[in-house]
Amino acid sequence: MAKLTKINHIAVVVPDIDEALKFWRDALGIAVDHVEDVPSQKSTVAFLPVADTEVELVKPTAPDTGAAKFLAERGGGMHHLCFEVDDVAGMLADLKAKGIRLINEEPIELPGRKMAFIHPKSTGGVLIELYEIIK
């Protein structure tokens, strides 16, 4: 059976990266690794590593994404939790067999990783992302 191996990141949707860094970097003291435009996700993301995981501050750059709708409806906040898993396709099959509602029935393949989302309706309200790092 597929297994979770760590928390890869916790994503927080923000309306403004510089404004958000006043808390996450300046007050809390997390060093920013880098800030990157991620066109495939229609967002700008600041990566703030903490030990072997990281906080990702996600600023939507187009209105037609889940994160942009989340920002419009709730003003931002904790958006999803991402686990690394050793076999994302196997995990999706296990979850589906258990009646868990999935957003992605098959992994999305990106350079360096495969990913999928589990629907918050099946998780008690938490959007969960699964990553399989391809080495």
Cβ-defined contacts of 58-67 (< 8 Å, 24+): 58/11, 58/12, 58/13, 58/14, 59/13, 59/14, 59/15, 59/16, 59/17, 59/20, 60/13, 61/37, 65/41, 66/127, 67/13, 67/41, 67/42, 67/43
Selected from 12, 30, 82, 85, the binder of Co ion by CB under 5 A is 82
Let me know: does 130 contact 104? Beta carbons within 8 Å: no
Q: Would you state the structure tokens that stand for residue 18, as one six-digit string?
A: 């510089």
For Co ion, which is the closer residue by CB, 1 or 112?
112
Residue 67 binding Co ion, by CB under 5 A? no
Give the nearest distance from C-beta 65 to Co ion in angstroms.
Answer: 12
For Co ion, which is the closer residue by CB, 27 or 51?
51
Selected from 11, 20, 55, 57, the binder of Co ion by CB under 5 A is 11
For Co ion, which is the closer residue by CB, 82 or 85?
82
Residue 129 binding Co ion, by CB under 5 A? yes
Give the nearest distance from C-beta 7 to Co ion in angstroms.
Answer: 11
Binding residues (CB under 5 A) for Co ion: these are 11, 82, 129
